[in-house]
A and B are shown apart, each in its own frame.
Chain A
Amino acid sequence: MATYATNGYQDYNGGGFTHTNNYNAGSAGDFQDSSSQNKAQQRNTLTPVTIKQINESTQLVPDGEFIINNVELAFVSFIGVIRNVVDNTSSLTLTVEDGTGSIDVRKWLDDSANESPASQLPVGIYVYVTGALKEFNGKKNLQHATVRPIIDHNEVLYHHLSAIVTHLHAQGLSTNNNGQNSNPLFVPNTDGNESKSNVERIYEFIHDQTPSMPEGVPIQLIAQTLNLMVEDVQLHCAKLTEDGKVYHGYDDNGFLAV
């Protein structure tokens, strides 16, 4: 009798423990994870800019994001000509100018690397620079700066053009064809909603249902809810699987969103 009671108790305990675990992983955990990931991704976007934008950007709150004309600058990329190089043995201070302004970039030297960056980054060449924008003593600087010489100078043109596009998008303007003729603000958005493809609808449905169905969202349910043929859903899901957006649940009939 005593043995039975102990066993029963242990079983109960074990069961209870796994249950809580499942609950956390299945619903709240997954959901929060994906949303915080999305935010982090947005914050970490590499924004193409001109040096003038960097120099004129301001922080709304101390240590916060830099803002210039609605564009958030966290990680930035720009292109410019090296105008001055100062060798501090462990790092190079490069003065880079792109016709809109100039900025000093500190490039740390890697001892283990065989190349000598000083000779690869002479004065007068175009370079592509990326880094995290920071301010120190009232002066803008880049953390973790990478500097790479430009071989194909089309990059100079394309970079400036993409900086313009990024800027215009942030102002709520779309750059279609000859662009400047007042394009209504929200046209692209509504277009996108109406013409949502079946694949996108299926993915959204799976994504929404994933937290509550840890065994996989059944194909039949997807087909019923979205009013689609089961075969079509299978086809689309196979495609989504290939793209790495969904994966099989416990068996081939159910899918989970990544």
Chain B
Amino acid sequence: MDSSLSNIRVDHTLLKQFEGKVVRVIGKLGSIQNDRASLLTKASDGSSGQINLLISSSLVPKLQTPNNYYEVIGKITNDELAIRVLDGIDFGDSINEKAAIALVKYSNKCSELFY
């Protein structure tokens, strides 16, 4: 895990735009199956989406609780626009979704502060 890499806050609508990049996503953890899981995100346009996560076995213990919010750091894969997870942090079950949506929106508008 290279911690010096800066990464961009995205939601499901921005995956294509940042293909191949390392990003940070906040979303609700959906189903988990072996090395795959899904992350449910909402965007500022009101849409909801699902992002496929590819989890290496060493990181599986970090993504344990479905329905909790997680901040996932990972690289968007080129082909299927899934995210290869580099790290996941449990954000608990009471995250202000409006703030999360706003942060994605404004961090990309004020990119001079973020990347």
Q: Which residues of A contact B (CB under 8 A)?
A: 50, 52-53, 69, 81, 83-84, 95, 97, 99-102, 124-126, 152-154, 156-158, 160-161, 163-164, 167-168, 179-180
Contacts and interface: CB of A to CB of B under 8 A. Distances in A.
- Nearest first, the 10 A-B pairs at minimum CB distance are A153-B91, A83-B3, A157-B99, A97-B3, A99-B7, A100-B114, A50-B113, A164-B106, A99-B24, A164-B110
Interface in B55-92: 69, 71, 73, 87, 89, 91-92
A153 B107 contact: no
Contact of A167 (B91, B99, B113, B115): B113
A152 B92 contact: yes
A154 B73 contact: no
A158 B113 CA distance: 15
Given A83-B3, A153-B92, A168-B110, 19 more contacts: A52-B115, A81-B87, A95-B3, A100-B6, A100-B115, A102-B3, A126-B89, A152-B94, A153-B69, A153-B95, A156-B71, A157-B26, A157-B99, A160-B107, A161-B102, A161-B106, A164-B106, A164-B107, A180-B109
Contacts of A69: 112
A7 to B, nearest CB: 73
Q: Is chain A's binding surface mostly helix, strand, loop or mixed?
A: mixed
B43 interface: no
Interface residues of B, number: 31
Nearest to A175: B106
B55 to A, nearest CB: 16
Interface of B: 1, 3-4, 6-9, 24, 26, 69, 71, 73, 87, 89, 91-92, 94-96, 99-100, 102-103, 106-107, 109-110, 112-115
A179 B110 CA distance: 12
Given A97-B3, A160-B107, A153 B113 contact: no
Given A50-B113, A154-B94, A180-B109, A97 B4 contact: yes
A112 B3 CA distance: 33
B4 A153 contact: no
